[in-house]
Structure formats: C-alpha cells, structure tokens
Chains A and B, each alone.
Chain A
C-alpha cells in the first residue's frame, strides 16, 4: 500500500503553489468579486500556459496526458487560492464529459481548444430552485434544436459551450450546445460569490448535438457529477486548509486578556476539531482520487465520501474563520468572507452534502451486505 502522492506530483504541487502565490493572491479574487468582470482573464491564460487545463486530456487531443491524480493536486491549489477562474466548470465538468462520452469527432472538435483555454465549457443542469432529479429536467432537444431554460449555470456567462441535460425522443440525454451562436440568450446573475460568475441560459431552438448514449442522460450526468465531486473536493479541501491556516495565524497574533487568543482552550479545541475534520476529508479525497484514476468500481461511493466530507469541512472552516477573527471577520476589508462565500457556492453547486448522503446510502443499500475485511488498525 502506498497512500500518498508521488514525488513528481508533489513537485507539481510546489510549482502550482508558487505560481498562484505570485499571480493569485487573495487580492485577485477580491478584485473580481468587487468588479463587474466575471473572472480573471490573466489568471486563466496563465493556467492554460502552464498546461493545467489539459492535465487529464489525452495527448492525442492536445492535452498533457497526465492523469486525475495530477489534476487533483492542481485542484487543491486552485482551491487554496480561491482562484476566480471557471476551472471547475470547464475542466472537471465540460472536459470530463467530452473525454468520457464524446465521439472521436467531438473530442477533436472540443478538447484541443479546452486544453489551450481558447474554449471554456460548463455544465447546464439545474432549471429551477430545489433538488435535481431525473424529472426536474424539462429542456428538450428535437430535430437538433434545443429549447428550455437552465438556471443557475456556473460560469454560464463566460463559457463558449455547455453540456446540457435535455429530453429527446429517447429520453433524458446529454447534449452539446454552442452558447455563442443563435438561439441562446444569457443573463448574468447576482450571486453569493461574485468571484465566480453565474448565469441564466435561455435556449430557443438553439442548434445542439447529442453527447454520449441518448436516453441515458441521468446516468451519464451522475457519472459526470461523481468525477467532478472528487476533483471539486480537492478544491474545497484547499479552501478549507487555507482558511484554517489564516485563522491559526490570526489567533496567534491577536491578544486579549494579556495573551494570544489562540492560547484559550475554547479556541484551541475548536482548532483541533477543525484540523481533524480537514484531515478526514483529505483522506477521503485521496481515496476518491485513487478511485477516479484507477476507474475503480468504488468510484460512486468514493465520490460521495469526498463530496460529503469536503463540503462539511470547508463549511466549518469558512464559519470558523469569520468567528475566530471577531469583529474584523465580519468586515468587507478582511478576507474571511471570500472563504465564507466560496464554501457555500461550492457546497451547493454540485448538490448539497445531504443530497450526497442520500445517494451514498442508496448505493450502499443496493450492494450486498459488506463482508470485506474490517477497518485497518494501523497501531493495534
């Protein structure tokens, strides 16, 4: 057993972190948040130049031909930086959908441009408030024309195309729609986290083509969400870890009653608990990354484990960073709210932790009672 990233992967982490520390300090996230621009173009170009966008795209389609472990490493760093770029939409969702289900022609058409950053993709799934299920999709594709409304779509106003869930005569399917062509109207939405953009997309007889097996759209969407959940878990983990580090630093330097507030046991114990939650989430994320890169049959349950624990850990870290900063934690000027916003955005966009808990038990209930060997007891 070897449950750690390799030296090469760790090197990749170091370079990614160095790049982001230089080019994406939190002021970059804040700048996007405070302006009308939907994302940072410079950062996007930088990510493209470093080859990050094509990390898991095969070389024959213009990618780096590395794998999902490498992508996980980068995702964690993107998460640490709260990078204001459409990385998750384009890389974990649109790119993965095409790698997974695209025909050779579709791959040739999209992947090289996704890899170079020339094209940005997204996944348009939800249509209205509430939990998404197979029957919440009413967009339709008929005779190559897509109609319906998708809301909200993360990065929907910067993306060039979208993978869309829609009904065809064969049932729920995934389709590819150009967002820059005729029949598409889009409007940016005000959101909780304006460092990432959101939009409502209206399709009115917009040209679109089927992606993957027609009529099996729910299953394919779920497969896609599982993959994205693993990768996004690393982004959430990075965010949680950074919030934790900033909190630690602040409480060590802030004095009250003649001592650093970090010396009060109430805070120390909560810091210990937060550390534990992050470590458990990290361990689940590692397992998910392994399952993803080995195409393990465990991927669906592993994805649930990643999604649930990473969402909960980032949620906790983002509340604690505000609380443990006291009054300044509630100011616009301090960075605490950037984490508080991002944690909730990422925590809802692929479905809530509760929703993934439900899915997890559905999966476990469907398999035969567990007879595998008991949990490892590393020290016993």
Chain B
C-alpha cells in the first residue's frame, strides 16, 4: 500500500503542473463559486473552446483515448493526476463532457470507421459540441419506454417525436439520439441509435427554466427530420446496447465529484462566522456535523483510490462507479444546506457581493438537486448497486416480454 506518487507519476504531475502554470491562472480560496456561475453564456463557450484546443494541442485532452483519435493512451491514474492538477486552476466549465465522456466512448465501441474518423477528433478538440437526446417526457428512469420514432425511407430515416432535459441542445452541433424503430417488439428490442445534426430542418429547441433560474437543458421537438442511414450507430433494433455503453460512461464521468465548494471552504466558514461572540466552529453541534462531512468525503476519496488501483491492474470500470455520484451528490447537498444554516438568517442571501464565498454554497444548494436526478436518480443508482454488485433479485418487470405498443402507461404518458 502506497499513497505517494511513483517516480513516473511524480514526473508526470510536475509536467502537468508546469504546463498549467504557464497557461492558466491559479484558483484562490473562495474562487469555486465564481467559476461555477460563469456557466452558460456564449462568451463562456468561446473561452471553453479556446481552452480545449490549447489542451488538445499540448496533449492534455481526452488523455485516455487511443492516439489514433487524438488521445495519448494515458492510464486512468495519469488522467486523475491531470484532473487533480487542473482543478487547482481557474478554467472554463467543461461543456464538452457529454461528448467526450459519454458519446465518444459509444462511437468508439459501436460506430463505423467512417464515423470514428469524422467525429472523434473534432469532439476531442472541442470544435464540435455534442448533446445526448435520450430522455423523453414519458421515458426517464425507464429510458427503454421512449417513443420518438424513426421510420426508414430509402437511404434516410425520418424522425418524429420529442426529447426533454437535453443539456446543451442550444449550443450543440451534434446529438446522439435513441429512437423507436419497431413498436411490435418488446421495448428494448425495438430501439435504434443515431447521430443527428442539431441544425437539421424540423428540429425545434425550447429552453426549460430550471429551479436554479438557469436554462441549460431544453425540450427538443422533431418534425419529419431526415437523417442518412450512414448516421446510424450500431444495427437497427440494437440501439439499447449503445445506450448501455453511454450510460455506463455517464455514471463514470459524473461519478468523480460534484464540483463547487469543498470541505475546506466549509471549515473556513465555520471559523469565520460569528455565533454570539464566538466562532461557529466552537459549537459542539457544528463540530459533529463537520466531522461527519469530513469522514464521508475522505471515504469517498479513498474509495476512488481503491478503484483506481483496481483499474491500474487491468480491471474494467464496473457499476462500483455508482457509489461516487450517489454519495457525493447527497453529501454536497447536505454540506451546502449546513453552510447556509451556519450563516443564520443571512444564509438565504444569494448576492455574490454579500454572501461568503461569493454565494457558492447557495448556488450549490440550488444546483445539486439536478445532479441527484441526472444520469440516474439516487433510486436508480441504488437499484444498480443492489442488482449488479450485490446480485439481489431484479425488480419485477411487468413489461418485459410485452410488445412495446401494448405496454400500459399512466395518464401523463398518454
């Protein structure tokens, strides 16, 4: 057991840090908020693209990807070292994560050679942004219940239907879409996976205002949208396999951390906030809560190290990745809620100029419920742990062998 970097890792870390020092600005305590709230606007997209291209030129983009697609075939540990170092610097939000973390690996696994050649490199360089068109009003956790149809017409497919909660649809060039191509088969057997140009005629994108006031996700409507059969990923009717690849990678890519302020920021807040003439940190109830947060965060961090060790010995990423998102998101929500309690009545103030840490805790509190839902809700993650790690019996599936068109639906889905 050894926590220290090996000689090689030390060298790699130094290299990464040197490059970052030369190309970016170091994060100061309390900066987390500022970086978070910059998300969204079009000027952010420009800076994010510049940063991504710069990283790609220097070999720091999608490092674990094979070299033929522009990666450097780096190890998982090297990727972590890079992210540890990068997260100490002030960098634009990674609006490429859906493409690079989820859709890229799906194209690598199921795409044609032509698709790999055309799409992966620009994806890595941040030249083209991608979105994931999976969820529908009647198909979220039960993704296999999707209804958007694709009907074959010569060399093309014609798409009709609606997607929802599509992050980044408004600024994406490309989408990966799941469609129903055969309603007479049981639900998972009639799905086909496509790449779609988001500027195609017949696509309408409407932003949805979120509980935190932002509008990162959207509704997307498809009316007779035509795409070439060349854009099909995998065989007709076998889209579910691709979907699984995407979802596995999704859980991995969001498993790592919720972002935003950290335990050290909470500790500083408790030190600096006055409770009736004394630091809040002197209060026994505060201390108990802080200690719980600390050991949970550490447990998560060291669990990550154990996973990494397994990966570095050739294990393939498994459902264990679910722990990270399940525990991390709730922990961050609890920490944010507690930070606001520590502030007393002022905890409800969200003005960055007044609220400590530029209102990072308030912003986290309002944003984190989304993380507990996106990419699999807490409940779905528990199902995955129970069924795929602990091998407990699967849930009873009433719709399993029923042709899709005959599956009963609730009033909202009608």
Contacts and interface: CB of A to CB of B under 8 A. Distances in A.
Interface string A349-379: 0000010111011001100011101111111
B292 to A, nearest CB: 7
B386 interface: yes
A369 B1 contact: no
Interface in A94-144: none
Interface stretch (A82-90, A159-167, A304-312): A304-312
B223 interface: no
A4 B310 contact: yes
Contact of A375 (B2, B304, B389): B304
A281 B295 CA distance: 9
A364 B286 CA distance: 13
B291 to A, nearest CB: 3
Contact of B393 (A1, A262, A377, A378): A262
A305 B4 CA distance: 19
Contacts of B309: 1-4
A281 B303 CA distance: 9
Contacts of A2: 1-2, 309, 312
A47 interface: no
Interface stretch (B132-140, B263-271, B366-374): B263-271
Contacts of B264: 369-371
Interface in B197-252: 252
B47 interface: no
A275 B306 contact: no
Nearest to A298: B3
A289 B3 CA distance: 11
Contacts, number: 209
Contacts of A216: none
With most chain B CB atoms within 10 A of its CB, the pick from A3, A251, A279, A304 is A3
A17 to B, nearest CB: 19
B355 interface: no
Contact of B395 (A263, A280, A282): A263
A358 B291 contact: yes
Given A308-B295, A369-B264, A379-B255, A286 B306 contact: yes
B11 to A, nearest CB: 14
Contacts of B98: none
Nearest to B263: A370
Contacts of B3: 1, 3, 287, 290
Contacts of B77: 1
Interface in A27-83: 69
A269 B4 CA distance: 36
Given A364-B294, A377-B256, A280 B304 contact: no
A52 B80 CA distance: 38
Interface stretch (B81-89, B116-124, B404-412): B81-89
Interface in B1-58: 1-6, 9, 29
Interface stretch (B144-152, B156-164, B168-176, B323-331): B323-331
Contacts of A205: none
A1 B9 CA distance: 8
Contacts of B302: 3, 283-284, 286-287
Given A269-B382, A280-B296, A305-B299, A373 B85 contact: yes
Contacts of A4: 1, 306, 309-310, 313
Interface in A234-272: 248, 251-252, 259-260, 262-263, 265, 268-269, 271-272
A259 B397 CA distance: 13
Contacts of B385: 272, 275-276
B211 to A, nearest CB: 25
B307 to A, nearest CB: 5
A366 B396 CA distance: 53
With most chain A CB atoms within 10 A of its CB, the pick from B1, B312, B313 is B1
B400 interface: no
B281 A357 contact: no
A308 B288 CA distance: 11
A248 B392 CA distance: 8
A21 interface: no
B273 interface: no
Contacts of A6: 1
A380 B257 contact: yes
B308 interface: yes
Closest 3 CB pairs of A and B: A280-B299, A377-B256, A357-B291
8 contacts: A272-B383, A358-B284, A358-B288, A364-B294, A370-B263, A370-B264, A374-B257, A376-B256
Interface of B: 1-6, 9, 29, 76-77, 79-80, 83-85, 87-88, 252-257, 262-264, 267-268, 271, 281, 284, 287-288, 290-292, 294-313, 317, 321, 323-324, 326-327, 379, 381-383, 385-387, 389-390, 392-396
Given A1-B5, A272-B382, 4 more contacts: A4-B313, A268-B390, A354-B288, A380-B80
